[in-house]
Structure 1
Amino acid sequence: MASPSLAGDMDVSFTRQGPKRNLHCWSKLPQDLLQSIFERLCFADFEHAKCVCSSWQSASRQSKPNNEIPWMILFPKHKNYCYLLNPEEKDKVYKTQDLGSDFVKSFCVASYRSWLLMKPRYEYIDNPQYNLYILDLLTRERINLPTFESETGLASPILWIDEKTNYYLVIGMVDEKNAIAFKREDNSWKQIPLTLDIAKCFDMVYNDHKLYCLNYYKLKIFDFFGENPVQVFKISVRGCILISSSFGMRFPGIPWEVQRGYYTDRIVVTVGGDVLIVKGRRPRLCRIWNFEIYKMGSSKGDKWKEIFSLGDEAILLDLGITVRTKEIKGIKRNSIYFNGNDLDGIYDKNNIFIFSLDTKKVEQTHYFVCLSILCNDARWFLPGFKR
């Protein structure tokens, strides 16, 4: 059998010194091909690749990273900037630009990609008038929202943005019975009709033009695609959610943040559109968290079923979504990404964690970085890089 020809794999010319290879130069790749490559790279690989040569750097300016890995935001106390941590780069910390003089007087209550929904701190509110704004922490683009009146602010807040059209939607509860919404074309906040009955909702998720609302009795789904929202589904959560108490008799000599128990009940919508309820518990006098996950049936009559694996997905609890992990470096499969604020915590509120459903153990990422920075808050987010 004849041996394979080298000439079939590369261009070969012959000189007096023998064969000479004319290998293609990577810097000569067409720009559209380079852009296609860059669009498939995660942030760390993107930053490395653009340093290869001037041609690759030029292609990078017309592209953006394809990032599906959750990053961490640290909000240092009394500062007008944030720190960003990429799990792929263990020892690297990014610092944002100055985010405005009033950033230090506000705190983040919701996020979507790199956009933050900022609410004034209570010490800077002199009356029941609330001034919220939306801020892109990477580009510093800002959208001021109209004021609204409330004794408690905006509870269970939702932020959603279509980054192609810059259409945005903000939803939240102003008290136990009333919810309001604001979208880009509106001039003022609009009350969501009481007939929809979103009373006592303590968690909401917005996904694919649908609003998922959870209270201690039912989960309701509303369609927001048309001019007026309509209820399209509801299901009882009895037996799945119990009203818990984190208080009890105090023991002398033990810090209260250790004595009290912490709990959370959150809605999560998966990549495939399934609805989950995630129950997180840290009992009194215990530092160990545990989670239970219940999946909603496909029809009204189906009951909630406890599941024990997410497969090749991970939950971002603060965002109420799952993300794919298969073939994505830097994100852990079958895990729950959460922070202290997700879990109604005081002791853990500045820390960020990953809970493995395989090992039933909690990992505190970037522990020494978090320890060295005095923070008001920390949270997971999915960066949205722009050209």
Structure 2
Amino acid sequence: METPNSTRWPDLPVDILRSLFERLSYIDFHRAKMVCSNWYLCSKQTLGPKGRSPLLLLSPEEGGCRLYNPEEDRVYVPRRYFSGCRFLGNSGKWFLVADSQSNLYIVDVFSDEKIDLPRLELVSKDGCVHNLEPLGDGDFEEMLVGRNYGIRKSAEELRGRVWVDDKTGDYVVVCRFDRCDYMRFCKKGVDRYSEIQTRVGVNVFLKGQDDMVLNGYNLYVFTPRCSLRNIDLSGKDGFEDVTKQPMFTWYKPFPSAEEKERMRAFKPISESYNIAVTRSGEVLLVHNYTYESTTTFEKHRTFGVYKRQLKHLEDPETSYKPWLVEVDSLGDEALFLDLGITLPADATLGIEPNSIYFTRDDRFRLMPLSFLDICVYNLVTKSIKRFPTLSSKLKLKDAQWFIPS
């Protein structure tokens, strides 16, 4: 007769496995279901953990990646090492990854399920004026169609956004090189990229790109002239620029008297502007300001959130003047700047209301004075929470907030 000690882990009874799975944290649950086929099938019959608290994907200087759960104050090592990879953006548990050979793919960081993407040099012939030729070691040469000389581009300059629908499996990827005059995108069912011009043939207020949010098939681009461009990527044939007319500019906010007084005692270090899209579809402007005390030399960071308001002038049909109104509260939402969206706040899941989840300024564009600063900022109390355990345990070159599902 076999003793209980002789029972192999993969052959544990289903009722015991279910009891085990129900006691695991979200990350451990997804790790456990990958042990074997029997455990995976049992996980499908288990409700699993209810928690979907915000997690951090960490990129240590030594390479690879780690997963960090702030609620547990615990660092996890994923099944896959991701050597030589850069994580450009995420959508839930899915991350847009560029490997050491400059191949792009989307990966589930819990299961290693992978979606391969077309090579960047493979673009559609219609409407494209730029070709990319890989040079090795992550470098490219960008050439205008019909020209025999080009400009060298580094994979380190590559920026990207991704959106994945867990229910349908649909996805969209948008990528660009820093300080480039175009973006490229592809989606499920298409084996090559299409090109979106950001300067040639574009309204002067809509030229360039300082920030970008991909929310489903809607692409929002914040331009250097502080205007907002809206592009619909859902069509079968390319894309459609659905920017609303008449055109108006989103002026940057002026500092208040209180801010000016505070700034006299501090030295400014960096300043940036980003956009974010709420659950209702409203676009917000987020002002991020970093300064240093002139006496203690301590660094401080503060945020301001603004929404756009139109004021009618003489002719309400053709004339508009934009006003920026400061938002004192996000209500029952939390803002994740790495994603550029707001999500429902839920104390049971550790998602704090009226809070901004932040990691760095230059997620989308290169900024010489940017630095990694993993924190949660409360808009109401103006307080900021950091995670000292991370800095003491790991030397990080990057980190991204994400919601596992």
| 2:108 counterpart residue number | 136
Q: Which moved more, 1:168-177 or 1:356-365?
A: 168-177
Structure 1 contact 340–346 (Cα < 8 Å) conserved: no
Whole-angstrom CA distance in 2 between matches of 1:298 and 1:45: 49
Q: How far 1:180 sits from its partner (Å)?
A: 1.0
Matched, 1:375 2:383: no
CA distance in 2, matches of 1:224, 1:162: 14
2:120 alignment counterpart: 147
**2:362·2:370 contact (CA, 8 Å) conserved in 1?**
no
**Would the aligned equivalents of 2:26 and 2:52 in 1 still touch at CA under 8 Å?**
no
1:190 correspondence with 2:194: yes
| Cα offset, 1:192, TM superposition | 1.9
> Match of 2:80?
98
Q: Give the secondary structure class of the aligned counterpart of 1:360.
A: coil
The equivalences for 1:1-387 within 5 A come to: 43=26, 61-80=45-64, 82-90=65-73, 92-99=74-81, 103-120=82-99, 130-145=102-117, 146-148=119-121, 149=132, 150=142, 151-153=153-155, 155-174=158-177, 175-193=179-197, 194-195=200-201, 199-217=207-225, 218-227=227-236, 228-234=238-244, 236-240=248-252, 261-283=269-291, 287-297=299-309, 301=320, 303-326=323-346, 328-342=348-362, 349-365=371-387, 367-384=388-405
2:105 and 2:115 in contact (8 A); partners too = yes
Alpha-carbon distance between aligned partners in 2 of 1:67 and 1:342, rounded to the nearest angstrom: 30
- TM-aligned CA distance change 1:59 to 1:111, over 3 Å: closer
SS in 2 for 1:371: helix
Does the C-alpha gap of structure 1 residues 226 and 67 become closer, same or farther in structure 2, counting only changes over 3 Å?
farther
Distance 1:298 1:326 in 2: 32
Structure 1 residue 327 displacement after superposition: 5.1
Aligned length: 312
**Structure 2 CA distance for partners of 1:331 and 1:238, relative to 1, 3 Å:** closer
Aligned mates of 2:103, 2:347 — CA distance in 1: 42
Distance 1:352 1:61, change over 3 A: farther
Give me the TM-score of the superposition, normalised by structure 2.
Answer: 0.67
Deviations along 1:257-291, one digit per CA (max 9) or x if unpaired, are x9871222111011222110101011356511111
Aligned counterparts of 2:163 and 2:113: Cα–Cα separation in 1: 15
1:264, 1:279 within 8 Å by CA — same for their partners in 2? yes
1:230-261 CA distance string (max 9 Å, x none): 2222554442269xxxxxxxxxxxxxxx9871
CA distance in 1, matches of 2:108, 2:349: 26
Task: Check whether the contact 1:317–1:342 (CA below 8 A) recurs between aligned residues.
Answer: no
- The one-character-per-residue Cα deviations of 1:211-232 (angstroms, maximum 9, x if unpaired) are 1100121111122222232222
In structure 2, C-alpha distance between the alignment counterparts of 1:116 and 1:187, rounded to whole Å: 19
Q: Deviations over 1:67-89 (max 9, x none)?
A: 54211111223343x32222322
Q: Which amino acid aligns with 1:163?
A: D
Structure 2 partner of 1:253: none
Asked if 2 retains the 8 angstrom alpha-carbon contact of 1:156 and 1:203, the reply is no
1:376–1:264: structure 2 CA closer, same or farther, 3 Å change rule? same
Q: Percent identity?
A: 28
Q: Is the 8 A contact 1:44 1:88 kept in 2?
A: no
- Residue 258 of structure 2: aligned partner: none
Unaligned runs of 5+ in 1: 1-30, 51-56, 243-257
Q: Over residues 6-53 of structure 1, what are the superposed CA-to-partner deviations in whole Å (9 max), with x where a residue is unaligned?
A: xxxxxxxxxxxxxxxxxxxxxxxxx9xx9xxx8xx9849989xx9xxx
CA gap of 1:224–1:297, structure 2 versus 1, over 3 A, is farther
**Shift in CA distance, 320/236, structure 1 to aligned 2, threshold 3 Å:** same
